[in-house]
Chain A
């Protein structure tokens, strides 16, 4: 009896062990993939190569990319591009991470440029081949902010389009407040004055119309670092973005300027109307700093809003804007197979061309990354896009070691002042220390 019990136990354990042994199976497809090139080299030359392209789900981007893929496949009948854009933005990074151990995933992936460091450090992206993407060509033809795609001198990604920040203003609310809707603020002082004049409260003191809502969890953390700090005479980071420098006198002035909208001027509350961006889109805010991608949001959600877009206000005669971009990289999955890698390179060349940028701006509203298409006079004269296009020549893109942590540092320090009455200078120093720690962590491991 005890013996038979033992048999059963051993049998069960064997079954379990076999299943356990079968468990590393997810790694198997990757090995299969690695052994594929031999098979493909032997195949005839006109064999169709299939590559996979991933981006997050954003209707206009999906539409634009579908059109580009159709054009590309027509020009390259032996390459088939599988377009995966079903992943919501919030889950995009998780799905990418989950795809790797499963041995699936993209050959060409679109990522926010601020994520590059983390993706490169993790070995997911491979350098772009220099013969197909000569560094000199990139410097010459692409918007200067695209230099952020060089990590320690090596080019890893290239964008189709870039974005800059500009000032959105609600013309009707301005008119209601007795301001001239055709003369939006052109300096920081004017912005503060007009925002205060535009703010309306009801009898109980509750905000009805918000002049300006300072909200670092939106675009204002970028506005602070790359625009305000520079306008008050500072430089946010050292040239190689290894040292935080915004914790100086100029940085503190910029910080106080941003905080004043919340503390002294009280022109807005970021908790009202579902956050600053939704509040502007909903027509409750007079002035708002945002990117060109917001034009699409407004067109979809509040198409009748009477608003304008102008360049970010200057200060001390200094103009600046924050540039950023979604960029395309080649993954190690593509690099594992020469035929696929060649196809992926071709595809990347195609979607980063000036023509692709021109198509992109029409559909998505982001500006072409190649200067040739970006300096198009028609674009500069565009009532809405013109302000963004004008900003490209004086834009700065922050090099991020870890965008979400560096952003959180600014948000937390802003919260310390607004929610817990921390001294602004102390809070700014804490942000700088936290930010520096992230940078040190990144650079020390290189």
Chain B
């Protein structure tokens, strides 16, 4: 068989791509398919296989969700709250920081590193540091509150404050990534749009609303989708910042992934954990599709 140059190029392209494909198939897709399989079985981790029980695990989750003080209900509603608190805060803060950073010339690299550092720090290390900062009475934040005459706050020890406290840490940790992406987006906006607008008499506020923000729309959609997914999968911070890693106090910080972990690796109910995973998968899929459908619009000038 004689191949044209183009065909050979295509073959080479597929060959190179197949490396990544194999990685995804083995490391991502295969376990994902397995998780679906596990969710339909009474799967015990020690046995390595289980009897087919159909939708029983899903029924059990449904029943558990109907019970008072249910962990499952708490997990799903907390997860949604993490997204609702975390994603908008993260976007607004990151955009503000990126706009400021794009204005400065000196030391901008230092600032970028400073903002990005938490993102590459292990969540466990971050959690430990913040646990100390949040300590009642003796923590740095409470000492600071004390200095200005404000009462000491319980933060992660209180059912009301624990979730916002952990969300704040997640925002702090993820901010750097969003800032860098925003910065790249801001730098891609052609300068002559601004010049033209200024000549027409636009003020800074109008420049931002009419030029910067609309042209950043693809970036905003991208960060919203990624941010939402990362908050839907929140685990390490909660595991390391709630009392004994249980998602407490009183289930106020537990997440779906934490429940998956607890059911799977503490109670060894892999089927149940698998079913929770599948539900989370569809939740993420649904939200992502909705976001892409409604937020993506092309802006051209």
Which A residues fall within an 8 A CB radius of B? Answer: 1, 4-5, 8-9, 11-12, 15-16, 19-20, 23, 27, 30, 90, 93-94, 97, 100-101, 118-119, 121-124, 206, 217, 269, 271-274, 332, 402, 404-405, 408, 411-412, 415-416, 419-420, 430, 434
B300 at the binding interface (Cβ < 8 Å): no
Q: Measured between alpha carbons, how far is A45 from B158 in the docked complex, in Å?
A: 64
B3 at the binding interface (Cβ < 8 Å): yes
Tell me the count of chain B residues lying within 8 A, CB to CB, of chain A. 41
| Cβ contact within 8 Å between B26 and A23 | yes
A405-B267 CB under 8 A given contacts A20-B30, A100-B46: yes
A412-B48 CB under 8 A given contacts A4-B3, A97-B268, A404-B266: no
Question: Which residue in B18, B48, B248 is a CB contact (below 8 Å) of A15?
Answer: B18
| Cβ contact within 8 Å between A8 and B11 | yes
Q: Which of B183-231 contact A (CB under 8 A)?
A: none
**Please, could you name 13 A-B residue pairs with CB atoms under 8 Å apart, sorted by A?**
A8-B10, A12-B18, A12-B21, A15-B22, A27-B48, A93-B266, A100-B48, A272-B138, A405-B267, A412-B69, A415-B249, A419-B157, A419-B159
CB-CB under 8 A from A123, the residues of chain B are: 44, 46-47
CB-CB under 8 A from B249, the residues of chain A are: 415, 419
CB-CB under 8 A from B21, the residues of chain A are: 12, 16
Q: Measured between alpha carbons, how far is A54 from B14 in the docked complex, in Å?
A: 46
Residue on B nearest A420 in the bound complex, by CB: B159
CB-CB under 8 A from B245, the residues of chain A are: 90
Interface string of B1-28 (1 = CB under 8 A from A): 1011011001100110010011001100
Residue on B nearest A3 in the bound complex, by CB: B1
Query: Chain B interface secondary structure, helix, strand, loop or mixed?
Result: loop
Q: Which of B116-156 contact A (CB under 8 A)?
A: 135-138, 154
CB-CB under 8 A from B248, the residues of chain A are: 411-412, 415
Question: Which residue in A1, A121, A122 is a CB contact (below 8 Å) of B7?
Answer: A1
Q: Measured between alpha carbons, how far is A123 from B42 in the docked complex, in Å?
A: 13
Q: Measured between alpha carbons, how far is A12 from B250 in the docked complex, in Å?
A: 50
B52 at the binding interface (Cβ < 8 Å): no
A12-B14 CB under 8 A given contacts A1-B7, A118-B268, A419-B250: yes
A402-B267 CB under 8 A given contacts A4-B1, A4-B3, A412-B250: yes
Most buried by B among A11, A90, A271: A271
CB of A114 to closest CB in B, whole Å: 12
| Cβ contact within 8 Å between A217 and B265 | no
A100-B69 CB under 8 A given contacts A9-B14, A402-B267: no
The 6 closest A-B pairs by CB, nearest first: A124-B46, A122-B46, A122-B44, A97-B45, A8-B14, A271-B136
B244 at the binding interface (Cβ < 8 Å): yes
B251 at the binding interface (Cβ < 8 Å): yes
| Cβ contact within 8 Å between A217 and B137 | no
CB-CB under 8 A from B243, the residues of chain A are: 217, 411
Question: Which residue in A4, A94, A118, A419 is a CB contact (below 8 Å) of B10?
Answer: A4
Residue on A nearest B14 in the bound complex, by CB: A8
Residue on B nearest A124 in the bound complex, by CB: B46
A16-B25 CB under 8 A given contacts A118-B268, A271-B154, A430-B69: yes
CB-CB under 8 A from A16, the residues of chain B are: 18, 21-22, 25
B246 at the binding interface (Cβ < 8 Å): yes
Q: Which of B235-280 contact A (CB under 8 A)?
A: 243-246, 248-251, 265-268
Q: Measured between alpha carbons, how far is A422 from B21 in the docked complex, in Å?
A: 55
Q: Measured between alpha carbons, how far is A341 from B47 in the docked complex, in Å?
A: 19
A97-B265 CB under 8 A given contacts A4-B1, A408-B246: yes
CB-CB under 8 A from A274, the residues of chain B are: 135
| Cβ contact within 8 Å between B267 and A101 | no
| Cβ contact within 8 Å between A419 and B268 | no
Question: Which residue in B22, B25, B158, B268 is a CB contact (below 8 Å) of A122?
Answer: B268
Residue on A nearest B132 in the bound complex, by CB: A274
| Cβ contact within 8 Å between A20 and B26 | yes
Q: Measured between alpha carbons, how far is A285 from B25 in the docked complex, in Å?
A: 56
Q: Which of B41-98 contact A (CB under 8 A)?
A: 44-48, 69
CB-CB under 8 A from A20, the residues of chain B are: 25-26, 30
| Cβ contact within 8 Å between A206 and B137 | yes
Q: Measured between alpha carbons, how far is A11 from B272 in the docked complex, in Å?
A: 37
Question: Which residue in A5, A12, A101, A408 is a CB contact (below 8 Å) of B48?
Answer: A101
CB-CB under 8 A from A405, the residues of chain B are: 267
CB-CB under 8 A from B250, the residues of chain A are: 412, 415-416, 419-420
Q: Measured between alpha carbons, how far is A419 from B154 in the docked complex, in Å?
A: 10
